[in-house]
């Protein structure tokens, strides 16, 4: 084996997780949304080695603890044709989504994974629990798009669907205003750091919500979202420019009322936190993942309130944003 056969290359990519503060459900219909990348995310390391053997992609995905939750070896046929998860694959849906993403990357960029007999060792490292719902899928889309050079929004649409705001957050450096214009993603970076941010908290409800199912349930209602779009634009801008906790909290309440009327869902505060001294708003798909809590209570009392109700994962604004 000559020196060229031993040549290797290492690439590193990173993508941020996300939170949707306003515009949930309506953002898929052209509504204006305020979204934030968070300090948590996912990284991808790719080692490419030239060897005298059959080309292959060795894939490994790690939890925030370092535990491996997805491991697979893929051959060229897997990323150039239709592939099914092996029967012994413990995460068949995740495996199939990965294969689909690779195939769409190849469709856009035929030179991707075309290194002859090159062997690729790809490892993802997630620094947040997958059940937090901060974007395990969207960060993966962002990572593969960076590696392959493919359009991340086309990948997201082909494999997962959705508005694409989470994909925009994957590489954003701060908060964004996001909307779809004629089905095409448009966003701009904005300043959003409320002067009362020390009174804002993110509380995990202890279960992961699949946004695809939530959106499907919303679409099944057959409601016309058009009459609500202007209202959501107005509330989004009011939330962005609120100067006091009281004003911000009132805008959160009104936003919850609008989405409840549109979806038929019961607001999370009425379900779980009716006696909370402040406002609790769902983020993204209602019914799971994180909620935003705004309160003038001292931080210790806010944490005690949710912990005593079996919601111990409470992150202050400074810990999440």
Residue 144 · residue 155 · CB < 8 Å:
yes
157 and 208 inside one domain: no
**What average pLDDT is seen over the chain?**
90
Structural domain span for residue 308: 197-320
Q: What percent of the chain has pLDDT over 70?
A: 89
- pTM equals 0.91
Are 60 and 171 within one domain? yes
3-class DSSP assignment, residue 103: helix
pLDDT at 287 over 70: yes
Q: What pLDDT band is residue 220 in, cutting at 50, 70 and 90?
A: low
Q: Measuring CA to CA, which residue among 86, 118, 319 is closest to residue 202?
A: 319
Are both 102 and 242 inside the same structural domain? no
Same domain, 180 and 270: no
Tell me, yes or no, whether 129 and 205 share the same domain: no
224-231 contacts, C-beta under 8 A, 24 or more apart: 225/25, 225/26, 225/29, 225/31, 225/262, 226/29, 228/26, 228/31, 228/258, 228/262, 229/26, 229/29, 229/30, 229/31, 229/32, 231/258
Q: Do 29 and 174 belong together in one domain?
A: yes
User: How many structural domains is the chain composed of?
Assistant: 2
Q: Are residues 224 and 267 in the same domain?
A: yes
The predicted pLDDT at position 1 comes to 31
Condensed to tens digits (0 to 9), the pLDDT of residues 147-166 reads: 999 999 999 999 999 899 99
Residue 165 to residue 100: CA distance in whole angstroms: 20
**DSSP-derived secondary structure letter, 79:** H
List, for residues 38-84, the tens digit of each pLDDT value.
999 999 999 998 765 678 899 999 999 999 999 988 888 877 766 55
């Amino acid at each position: 084996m000559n020196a060229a056969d031993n040549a290797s290359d290492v690439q590193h990519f990173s993508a941020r997780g996300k939170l949707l503060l306003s515009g949930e459900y309506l953002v898929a219909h052209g509504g204006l949304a305020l979204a934030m990348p968070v300090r948590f995310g996912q990284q991808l390391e790719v080692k490419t080695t030239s060897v005298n053997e059959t080309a292959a992609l060795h894939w490994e995905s790690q939890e925030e603890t370092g535990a491996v939750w997805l491991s697979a070896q893929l051959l060229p046929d897997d990323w150039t044709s239709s592939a099914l998860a092996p029967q012994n694959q413990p995460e068949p849906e995740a495996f199939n989504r990965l294969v689909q993403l690779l195939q769409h990357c190849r469709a856009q960029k035929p030179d991707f994974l075309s290194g002859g007999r090159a062997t690729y060792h790809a490892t993802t490292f997630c620094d947040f629990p997958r059940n937090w719902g901060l974007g395990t899928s969207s960060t993966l889309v962002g990572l593969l798009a960076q590696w392959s050079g493919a359009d991340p929004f086309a990948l997201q649409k082909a494999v997962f669907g959705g508005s694409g705001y989470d994909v925009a957050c994957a590489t954003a450096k701060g908060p964004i205003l996001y909307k779809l214009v004629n089905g095409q993603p448009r966003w701009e970076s904005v300043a959003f750091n409320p002067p009362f941010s020390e009174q804002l908290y993110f509380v995990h409800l202890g279960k992961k919500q699949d946004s695809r199912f939530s959106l499907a349930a919303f679409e099944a209602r057959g409601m016309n979202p058009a009459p609500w779009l202007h209202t959501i634009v107005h509330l989004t801008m009011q939330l962005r420019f609120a100067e006091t906790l009281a004003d911000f909290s009132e805008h959160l309440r009104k936003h919850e009322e609008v989405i409840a009327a549109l979806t038929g869902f019961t607001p999370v505060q009425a379900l779980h936190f009716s006696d909370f001294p402040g406002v609790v708003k769902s983020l993204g798909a209602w019914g799971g993942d994180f909620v935003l809590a705004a309160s003038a209570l001292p931080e210790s009392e806010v944490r005690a309130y949710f912990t005593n109700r079996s919601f111990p994962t409470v992150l202050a604004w400074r810990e999440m944003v």
